[in-house]
Amino acid sequence: MHPPPDLLTPAEVAHMFRVDPKTVARWATEGRLSFVLTLGGHRRYPRPEVERLLHSEPASEEKP
């Protein structure tokens, strides 16, 4: 079963930002990204909130 289209899984958010899903969880814990909990206790992220953060983040830079 897939989440509603306006809610994203941690893996989907991680893919959008090109980060590890653990980074997404840390952002949520830090309050940088809001989330809702499913009945099973899984985090889902509102698409508008994710897109807002995506457009406000500077492009990731590769480390030398």
pLDDT tens digits, one per residue of 28-55:
999 999 999 999 999 999 999 999 999 9
Query: What gap in Å lies between CA 7 and CA 19, rounded to an integer?
Result: 18
When pLDDT is averaged across residues 21-32 and rounded to a whole number, the result is 95
pTM: 0.78
Asked: is 7-55 a CATH 1.10.1660.10 domain? The reply is yes
User: Could you give the residue ranges of the DSSP H alpha helices within the chain?
Assistant: 10-17, 21-30, 47-56
Q: Where are the domains of the chain?
A: 7-55
